[in-house]
Amino acid sequence: MSQITRRDLIKIFGASAVATSGLLGASKEAYAKSSAHIVIVGGGIGGASFAKYMRLANADVKITMIEPHPQYTFCPGSNEILSGHETLENLTVNYNTLKSRFNVDVIQDVATEINYEGHQVNTLHNGKISYDKLVVSPGPDFDFHFVDGYSAELAEGDFPHAWKAGPQTAKLKQQIDSMPQGGVLLISSPRMPYRCPPAPYERASFVANMLKETNPTAKILILDSKDNYVFQNHFEHYWKQNHQFGQEGSRIEWIPAKKGGVVTKLDATNKIVTTTSGEQIKADVINIIPEEKAGRFAIENGLALGSNWVPYEPKTFASKVHPDVYVIGDMVDAPMPKTGYVASNQAKVVAAAINDLLAGREPGTPFITNNCVAMAAEDYGMTITATFRYTGGIKDKGFSTQVRTSAITDNPYTNRIRAEVAKNWQRTFRKDMFS
């Protein structure tokens, strides 16, 4: 496939749009900076969205992405792998289109260190790479120390968290499929903030629907480190109708933090967890979703300013302290949920801001949305629309928020349509940045 050129942009958007406007603009001053080199750390949802939209905004800059893996597997949709409705292969994409069509130089490597004064990023194998603008989106890292006895090694072995889609997802599926009849799957759901707040409950729901057919006496025990969660009324409504939730013999049991739901210890040898109430619970499959913090690259390079999450300038998502460095995705300390939808929208804000700055223009004001779609089943969806409007103030980290959640209904057509919207969103979202 051929690469996008300035002429292509004019064909697609029209000469006046390309010459004058924000995201699509590139004024005369831009050509003074046409050699600007923009380097991206991380080729996940944030990094890949940025790469594509930066190219659409500006055909002339040089864009380099540093990403250790040759492929990326999407987390959205990965819970459905556990119930057999989705496959890892279908969720896995490569960087060919970003390279060939959007002229992004993808370097398969690990970024290690930022030399802020020298405007350089160091890598494990490719030495130092100079940048004019650096966009950092390494996602989160998992923090295992909240559960005594749990570790990254155990997660790679017999206790997969599967909170990053890949081999752990396949392993968890295999464990659930091999549970004895009447077995117990224990899911420990973390405190906020973590990526995709409804996903632990979506996971429980999809697995329960499958077990209803394959292992009808099996149970799912959700031990929660919170007292409530997003879409709780939707999930409970669905579980009451399909899994006798809240009654004797329910397939799903949910224990909130205030009733001792917080897991504090894992005895891996005997497959037993201990909770804050001192109770010891044995299970056949233990799925502890760890707490999270900003990715190691961000923390070690001081972007989190000593905390667990990365602060930012709300107008442009620039680092609070390092000029020419921009921070997006799950690792930022924004009043927004940690979702791919948000990461992708933040990426577009940064692409527009960098393009404006290179052209000598004042960046516009951001307006970010999160149209989150979740499912309790293939035919039961739910939606939440949140808007984050830039205020310029320091209150609420620079954004005012409005949220609207879909109402519960027993109309099966409405519930199915919402689920179809969720599935279509997953498909088009993957295509948006990778094809």
Ligand X SMILES: Cc1cc2nc3c(=O)[nH]c(=O)nc-3n(C[C@H](O)[C@H](O)[C@H](O)COP(=O)(O)OP(=O)(O)OC[C@H]3O[C@@H](n4cnc5c(N)ncnc54)[C@H](O)[C@@H]3O)c2cc1C
The residues of the shown chain that bind ligand X, judged by CB under 6 A, are 41-47, 66-69, 72, 75-76, 78-79, 110-111, 137-139, 163, 195-196, 199, 295, 297, 329-330, 338-341, 343
CB of 198 to ligand X, least distance (A): 8
Taking a C-beta distance cutoff of 8 angstroms, is the pair 129, 135 a contact? no
Taking a C-beta distance cutoff of 8 angstroms, is the pair 399, 388 a contact? yes
CB of 328 to ligand X, least distance (A): 7
Q: From residue 187, how far is each of 26, 51, 149, 151, 174 by CA, in Å? A: 50, 36, 16, 16, 16
Nearer to ligand X by Cβ, of 330 and 356: the residue is: 330
Nearer to ligand X by Cβ, of 301 and 316: the residue is: 301
Residue nearest to ligand X (CB): 44
Q: Which of 292, 287, 326 is nearest to 309 (CA)?
A: 292
Taking a C-beta distance cutoff of 8 angstroms, is the pair 66, 121 a contact? yes
Taking a C-beta distance cutoff of 8 angstroms, is the pair 246, 252 a contact? no
Q: Which of 163, 164, 152, 217 is nearest to 189 (CA)?
A: 163
CA distance 279 to 186: 14
Nearer to ligand X by Cβ, of 261 and 340: the residue is: 340
Taking a C-beta distance cutoff of 8 angstroms, is the pair 104, 65 a contact? yes
**Beta-carbon contacts of residue 281 (< 8 Å; ≥ 6 apart):** 186, 221, 223, 272, 273, 274, 275
CA distance 278 to 210: 31
CB of 68 to ligand X, least distance (A): 5
Could you tell me which residues are beta bridge partners of residue 399?
390
CB of 119 to ligand X, least distance (A): 17
CB of 301 to ligand X, least distance (A): 9
Q: Which two tokens stand for residue 392?
A: 């310029």
Nearer to ligand X by Cβ, of 160 and 295: the residue is: 295
CB of 214 to ligand X, least distance (A): 21
CB of 337 to ligand X, least distance (A): 8
Nearer to ligand X by Cβ, of 33 and 312: the residue is: 312
CB of 330 to ligand X, least distance (A): 4
Q: Which two tokens stand for residue 106?
A: 């993808």
Nearer to ligand X by Cβ, of 136 and 273: the residue is: 136
CB of 362 to ligand X, least distance (A): 27
Nearer to ligand X by Cβ, of 44 and 363: the residue is: 44
CB of 94 to ligand X, least distance (A): 12
CA distance 39 to 51: 9
Omega of the bond leading into 193 within 30 degrees of 0 (cis): yes
CB of 358 to ligand X, least distance (A): 23
Amino acid present at 117: E
Q: Are strands 184-189 and 140-143 parallel, antiparallel or unpaired?
A: unpaired
Taking a C-beta distance cutoff of 8 angstroms, is the pair 392, 314 a contact? yes
Nearer to ligand X by Cβ, of 69 and 395: the residue is: 69
Q: Which two tokens stand for residue 86?
A: 């989705």
The residue to which tokens 């090694």 are assigned: 153
Taking a C-beta distance cutoff of 8 angstroms, is the pair 312, 334 a contact? yes
Amino acid present at 413: Y
User: Which long-range CB contacts under 8 A does 167-174 form with residues at least 24 apart?
Assistant: 169/78, 169/81, 169/82, 169/88, 170/81, 170/88, 172/82, 172/285, 172/287, 173/81, 173/82, 173/84
